[in-house]
Chains A and B, each alone.
Chain A
Amino acid sequence: MMLIDPHAHMISRTTDDYQAMAAAGVVALIEPAFWIGQPRTFVGTYVDYLSSIVGWERFRAGQFGIRHYCTVGLNSKEANNEELAEGVMEWLPRFALKEGVVAIGEIGYDEQTPLEDKYFRLQLELSKELNLPVMVHTPHRDKKRGTSRSMDVCEEMGVDPSMVIIDHNNEETVAETLQRGYWAGFSIYPSTKMGNARMVELLKQYGSERIIVDSACDWGISDCLGVAKTAQLALESGIDQETIRRVCYQNALDAYGQSGQMNEEDWLNPPAIDQRTVYEGNSILRGGREPRIEAPGERRAGQLLIE
């Protein structure tokens, strides 16, 4: 089964993770611009970060047969540093039209401050101007209210809900997100966000329409196989293949494909220049082997020789 992980911070992950994701069937992923765990204090470091996810990380993923896309934006935490935020906003339009940029994101609220609100709105404006989808990060604290408010603001700004992916949903937020016409992302992230057994229950209840599963794997204790393990567990729990295909592949492609920058052809039939330069091809697609799920420990300990 081909999988897409539409939220993965690969800049914080190792080559083992790329190998494991490729082996598990991930053919494409999306790396949203985010907070790297430590605040940036210069505009220049933020600019170089955006360059990294647009260029270097895309190349790294291609070496493992995974197509890499990204979203660019000013995240909610760093929106609170006004000097930095102003600088980043000046550079954003330069990055928004780069190859493989599929949305403005992840943007939204953290502590729901006035500055967060200001830059959220400015970036929604930019997404409208460039006709790009938006990936909204919903806050961890005061989540329910923050999620409703994020959607209120999108509507106030005249952004079409079909262009917006509300991410990090849970049992408490999903009904409203879907009812208001947004895409509903779920991050299968241990301890803090969503577990895959809970996700399977949600699939039973809500079906597959506009629901998107991602791993949100980053620098914290998280699992780059979040999508693959959810697909596996759903299959074992009797969820039909088509539902799994939609929530672990097709819906992400439909939502972010609205950018015009992400097409199935990119991995099924890549342009000649990409095959020669930046994309090694995927052994799963070449019919090389069955998707498999391995833990990082097994991958490391099982291989004694380093050559």
Chain B
Amino acid sequence: MSDQAAELLRQWVMAQAGEHADWVSQSLETIAKGGPERDLHIFLGLAPRKLGKADLNLSDEDLKAADQARSGWSPEGWSVDGAARVLALLKSAGNRAFSDRFKDLRRTADMAELIAFYRGLPLYPDPETLHFEVGEGLRSNIRAVFEAIAHNNPYPRDHFDEHRWNHMILKALFVDSQLTPILGLRERANPELARILVDYAQERWAAGRPVTDELWIPVKPFRNDPSIKTALDEALASGKLTEEVLL
């Protein structure tokens, strides 16, 4: 699965690598042989310097191929240096477990690296070993880092337990992020999340702040649960909420 994804990334990066195409292939070859991790660090550092930060040029076919390689994976909005960095991670071989190496890179990462590393989550080996690292990213106050995990990324849908899932949705609301780009927003709706979201909406109303319509998407399936129904009926009666957002 990740071999196919790596091959796609390689094609896309090479297509935009220009005069640095040889540098990319040679560096990747060295990294894949499992030499010193310093080689990987240098490649990660030089990637934006050599390749620039332009968006990947992706066709509809490319996007389709990505989804086939890893269900739910969308490289839309990835930059060429970010793609090269994820590719290097996928190709790198070392004596330490992938999660240890990931942790080491994450600790000293700059923002662009953090965004790239977390966008690559659905493609890495042993996804269940990365939970701590993902938690660190979710706790980031840098919205773009949080969104690298939360948005257009199938990892949360496929690997988060209910508690972490619910708190990711809630944090997205707190940092003014959108909910609709979260994959699995409907499938992973659950009664506990619905309760949390209704509480949150009531807090917002009490403070005189608006509530985004997106919030109701994961609440709707539970609108007839007794406690939720009572809260929603009150909000409808007082005009804070309209029927149409619940449809």
Contacts and interface: CB of A to CB of B under 8 A. Distances in A.
Given A260-B49, A273-B55, A276-B77, A99 B142 contact: no
B111 A272 contact: no
Contacts of B144: 59, 276-278
B148 to A, nearest CB: 8
Interface string B122-156: 00000000000000000001101001000000000
Most buried by B among A51, A91, A97, A273: A273
A176 to B, nearest CB: 35
A271 interface: yes
Interface string B105-122: 001111111110000000
A47 B115 contact: no
A194 B112 CA distance: 37
A63 to B, nearest CB: 9
Main secondary structure of the interface of B (DSSP, over half): helix
A55 B54 contact: no
B16 to A, nearest CB: 13
A101 to B, nearest CB: 8
A278 B145 CA distance: 9
A40 to B, nearest CB: 16
Given A55-B114, A99-B48, A273 B108 contact: no
Given A56-B141, A100-B110, A273-B77, A94 B41 contact: yes
A59 to B, nearest CB: 5
Interface in B28-66: 41-42, 45-46, 48-49, 52-55
Contacts of A59: 111, 141-142, 144
A273 B79 contact: yes
B102 to A, nearest CB: 15
A130 B111 CA distance: 21
Interface string B194-231: 00000000000000000000000000000000000000
A55 B107 contact: no
A274 B53 contact: yes
A260 B46 CA distance: 11
Interface in A92-137: 94-95, 97-100
Nearest to A99: B110
Nearest to A98: B110
Interface residues of B, number: 26
B108 A271 contact: no
Contacts, number: 63
A267 to B, nearest CB: 15
A77 B245 CA distance: 60
Contacts of B82: 273
Contacts of B147: 277
Contacts of B53: 271, 273-274
B55 A55 contact: no
A272 B54 contact: yes
Most buried by B among A54, A58, A97, A274: A97
A99 B116 CA distance: 13
Interface in A192-245: none
Contact of A95 (B48, B55, B108): B108
Contacts of A94: 41, 108
A58 B108 contact: no
B77 A55 contact: no
Contacts of A58: 110-111
B175 to A, nearest CB: 12
B111 A99 contact: yes
Nearest to A101: B110
A161 B55 CA distance: 38
B55 A47 contact: no
Contacts of B108: 47, 50-51, 91, 94-95, 98
Nearest to A272: B55
Contacts of A97: 41-42, 45-46, 49
A198 B115 CA distance: 45
Nearest to A277: B144
Interface in A247-262: 260
A271 B110 contact: no
Contacts of B46: 97
Interface string B71-103: 000000101001000000000000000000000
A272 B76 CA distance: 12
Interface in A44-79: 47, 50-51, 54-56, 58-59
8 contacts: A47-B107, A55-B109, A56-B141, A59-B111, A98-B108, A272-B54, A273-B79, A273-B82
Given A98-B108, A99-B113, A277-B115, 5 more contacts: A97-B41, A98-B45, A274-B53, A277-B111, A277-B147
3 closest A-B pairs by CB:
A97-B45, A277-B144, A98-B110
